Amino acid sequence: MMVNSTQVPYFALSAYLDTGVFKYLYFMILMCLYILIMCANLLLIVIICMNRSLHEPMYIFLCSLFVNELYGSTGLFPMLLVQILSDIHTVSPFFCFLQIYCVHFYGSVEFFTIGVMSYDRYLAICYPLQYNTRMTSRKVAILTAFVWLYSVLSTVVILSLSAPLQLCGNTIQKVYCDNYSIVKLACSDTTVNNIYGLVYIFTVIVSLIILILYTYMRILKVCFSGSKQTRQKAVSTCTPHLASLLNFSFGCFFEIVQSRFDMSSVPIMLRIFLSLYWLTCQPLFNPVMYGLNMSKIRIICKSLSFGKII
C-alpha cells in the first residue's frame, strides 16, 4: 500500500543492535562524547567572541564552523541517545524529517564554510598586502550570511521534494533518518528528486571542490617560490584547514557509500560507525585541531588555564 511519507505512523530504524545490558555502557560513552563536543566547541566560540585579537576573518569563519558543529551534534545525539535506551527503535515522521533537516543543513554549512575558509587562506597567503582591502568586514558578513541562508534554502528544497513521496515501506536501514533513505522507500516517481540531486552535485559541490583545489594549487605555488617564512606561515595556517577538509571529505565519502550501495556483507558495527563518522568525528576533530594548531587560540587557552584574563 502506498502512503504519503508524512502520513506513515512511524519510521523504524533497523540498524540498531540488541545490545542488552551493554546499551547503558554505549549510552554513557555517547553521552560523554556529546558533552565533550559541546564543551570544546562552546569554549572556542566564547574565546573567539570575547577576545578582540581574534576578531579577524579567519576566526570569524571558525566561529561559524563551531556554531554549526553544535547544531549538527544536537541534531543527532539527543535522538540517538533516546534510541539506544529504547527497546523499540521507531521515530515519528515529524522528528524524522526534523532530523533530516538538521543533518543536511549541518553538512551544507560545514562544506560551504570550509570552502570559504580556503578562499580566505588563499587571499591571506597569495595577496598578503591586499588582504585587508579584499577581505573586509562587510565581505566576511556577506559570505557567512550566504553560507547559512543558502544552506537553509537548499535543505528546504530537499525536504519539499521528499515529503510528498508515496512510500511502500517505513524501515530505514540506519540509526538515524536521512533523506536518501526516504527516497529509497518511495513507490512514486523520484525523477525530480534525482534530477535535483544531480544538478546540486554538479553545479554546487563540484564547483566548490574546484574552488578549493584551485586555492590550494595557488597556495602551494607561493610556498615553493616564496621564502622560508612564507612557507612556515602557509603550513601553520593551512594544516588545520586541510586536515579538517580531509576528515570531512572521508566522512562524506563513507556516508555516500553507506547510503548508495549494498553494504550487507560489511559487519553491522562497521556500517554504524561509517554512517556516524561525519556527524561525530568532525565536531570533535575541529576544536582539537584548531585549538592545538592556531597559536593565538593556544596562547589564550593557556592564559585562561592559569586564571589570566586577556
Over residues 218-274, the pLDDT tens digits come to: 888 877 776 777 677 777 777 888 888 888 888 888 887 777 777 777 787 888 888
Say which CATH number the domain at 299 has: 1.20.1070.10
Calculate mean pLDDT across residues 85-102: 90
Interatomic CA distance for residues 96 and 7, integer angstroms:
12
Domain range for 200:
7-305
Q: Is the pLDDT of residue 308 over 60?
A: no
Within a domain: 238: yes
The pLDDT score that the predictor gives to residue 309 is: 47
Interatomic CA distance for residues 29 and 36, integer angstroms:
11
Give the cell for residue 80: 540517538
Within a domain: 21: yes
Within a domain: 1: no
Share above pLDDT 70 across residues of the chain, in percent, rounded to a whole number: 92
Give the cell for residue 292: 592545538
Calculate mean pLDDT across residues 131-139: 92
Within a domain: 174: yes
Within a domain: 269: yes
Residue 32, SS3 per DSSP? helix
Interatomic CA distance for residues 76 and 215, integer angstroms:
32
The pLDDT score that the predictor gives to residue 128 is: 85
Mean pLDDT value across the chain: 85
Within a domain: 69: yes
Cβ atoms of residues 200 and 111 within 8 Å: no
The pLDDT score that the predictor gives to residue 63 is: 93
The pLDDT score that the predictor gives to residue 301 is: 67
Count: domains in the chain: 1
Within a domain: 2: no
183 residue type, one letter: V
Please, how many CA atoms are within 13 Å of residue 151, restricted to the half-sphere of its CB?
21
Interatomic CA distance for residues 146 and 117, integer angstroms:
13
Interatomic CA distance for residues 104 and 182, integer angstroms:
13
Which of 41-45, 98-102, 271-275 comes out lowest in average pLDDT?
Answer: 271-275
The pLDDT score that the predictor gives to residue 71 is: 92
The pLDDT score that the predictor gives to residue 187 is: 86
Calculate mean pLDDT across residues 8-28: 83
Interatomic CA distance for residues 53 and 130, integer angstroms:
20
The pLDDT score that the predictor gives to residue 253 is: 82
Q: Is the pLDDT of residue 294 over 80?
A: no
Q: What is the DSSP letter of 309?
A: -
Q: Is the pLDDT of residue 310 over 50?
A: no
Within a domain: 240: yes
The pLDDT score that the predictor gives to residue 135 is: 92
Angstrom distances, CA of residue 43 to CA of 63, 143, 287: 10, 24, 9
Which of 106-115, 163-172, 197-206, 219-228 comes out lowest in average pLDDT?
Answer: 219-228
